[in-house]
Amino acid sequence: MSCEQASPLLSAYFDRELDVAKSLEIEGHLRECERCTAVVKQHEALHDALSAPSLVFAPPRDLEWRLRKAVRREAKPRSLFVLQPWRWAALPVAAMLAAALSWSVAVNRGGPSADDLMLAELVSGHVRSLMVDHAVDIATSDQHTVKPWFNGKVDFAPPVADFKANGFPLVGGRVDYIGGRPAAVLVYKRNQHFVNVFIWPAGKEESQALRNATYQGYHLLRWSGSGLTFWAVSDVNSADMESLARLFQEVG
């Protein structure tokens, strides 16, 4: 075998890709040819260099943990409360409900106004809290427990009071999102019905004209005090809603 014949086969020989007959021919040639032997030695040296441990990338031990954490952070809902497993199941229904409410507003009025959208969001928040059978994130009638619970969850201090003596026992509180901002929600019971009271800092852009409304069969009542806007939503009658508003205004 000549160098011209051996040369193109050296790489395949080194990688053990040749049949036995060809390998033996190359070996015979290498015994008498220094130049081809040098080429094979270069292959060996390159192979060894590429196998060096310093070239093998080993991911840091906590990489998986960090990736999972990053994915969780990205997937986190805007809401501040922690979604529990059963709430995931309720989300599509709630989303459909919100979409249906917005759609019916759009169809009936030829384009939803800002007030309509807010009423839809409030009713949606109220209905959602009933659907998942878990109206509150903190369940207690103790106002001294609920008030500090809001610290760090909303950037204002909602007035928290139990009106049990007046027929509106406090059930608890949660944080919801209305109009893209966090709202403190106090949940009261009136006989067997729930009343959600949404609270957020009063804004200049808010319509002051809208004081009460009936939406999708629910009563909504707005009042304000101490720089806060309050919206109560429930299926209890309007007189009861007014009573609750007065109780709030007395303590506020």
Residues that bind Zn ion (CB under 5 A): 3, 6, 33, 36
Q: Which is nearer to Zn ion, 33 or 117 (CB)?
A: 33
Judged by CB, which is closer to Zn ion: 13, or 248? 13
Nearer to Zn ion, 33 or 132 (CB): 33
Residues 6+ away with beta carbon under 8 Å from 54 = none
To Zn ion, the closest distance from the beta carbon of 48 in angstroms equals 22
What's the CA gap between 135 and 115, in Å, rounded?
24
At its nearest, how many Å lie between Zn ion and the CB of residue 26? Answer: 9
Q: Are 146 and 160 in contact (CB under 8 A)?
A: yes
Distance of closest approach, residue 4 Cβ to Zn ion, in angstroms: 9
Residue 102 CB: number of other CB atoms within 10 A? Answer: 16
Where are the extended beta strands (E) located within the chain? 138-139, 170-178, 181-190, 193-201, 212-215, 218-225, 228-234
- CB-wise, 33 or 139, nearer to Zn ion? 33
Output the six-digit token pair for 70. 């990053």
**Beta carbons within 8 Å of 200's beta carbon, 6+ residues apart:** 154, 156, 178, 181, 182, 183, 184, 228, 229
DSSP 94-118: HHHHHHHHHHHHHHHHTS--HHHHH
CB of 30 to Zn ion, least distance (A): 7
CB-nearer residue toward Zn ion: 8 or 180: 8
Instruction: State which residue, 11 or 214, has the beta carbon closest to Zn ion.
Output: 11
For the bound state, the minimum distance from the C-beta of residue 14 to Zn ion, rounded and expressed in Å, comes to 14
Residue type, 189: K
CB of 28 to Zn ion, least distance (A): 11
